[in-house]
Amino acid sequence: MLNAVPDLPEDPALLKAMIAALQAENAKLTTTLRAHDLVVQALRLQIARLKKQAFGKSSEKIEREIAQLELALEDVLVSAAQQAPVASDQDDPDPDLAAPPSDTVPTPHHQIMARVPR
């Protein structure tokens, strides 16, 4: 258990209040997580659409826009990771409750282009 409370009150009303507070906090965190997921999904779709359009007269402008969107996506992912609680207090994680592996974060376009020999 991440936040183990050594001395739980025996009063049922206090226990119910604690449960209600934890459920409210859980709902708030779930809502925040869903909002971040929607932003990430929208940015990825926009980047994919722009990459398809990256050929033609305005390709340089689109490449700059792709780079900016990838930076914005990276910022969102970093801020979400910083807000996530660290599970370092957990002694014995339950493998059945472990989260599925998340999608890998693609390398930003500007970093790839910096490595390409010209």
Residue range 17-52, pLDDT digits in tens? 999 999 999 999 999 999 999 999 998 998 888 877
Checking 94-102 for CB contacts under 8 A at 24+ apart, the result is none
Instruction: Give me the domain span that covers residue 58.
Output: 11-84
Instruction: For residue 102, tell me if it sits in a domain.
Output: no
Q: Which amino acid is at 56?
A: G
If one compares 64 and 15, the residue with the highest pLDDT of the two is 15
Instruction: For residue 5, tell me if it sits in a domain.
Output: no
Let me know: does 108 contact 74? Beta carbons within 8 Å. Answer: yes
Instruction: For residue 95, tell me if it sits in a domain.
Output: no
The Cα 37–Cα 49 span in angstroms is 18
Tally of domains in the chain = 1
CA-wise closest residue to 40 among 85, 83, 74: 74
Instruction: For residue 3, tell me if it sits in a domain.
Output: no
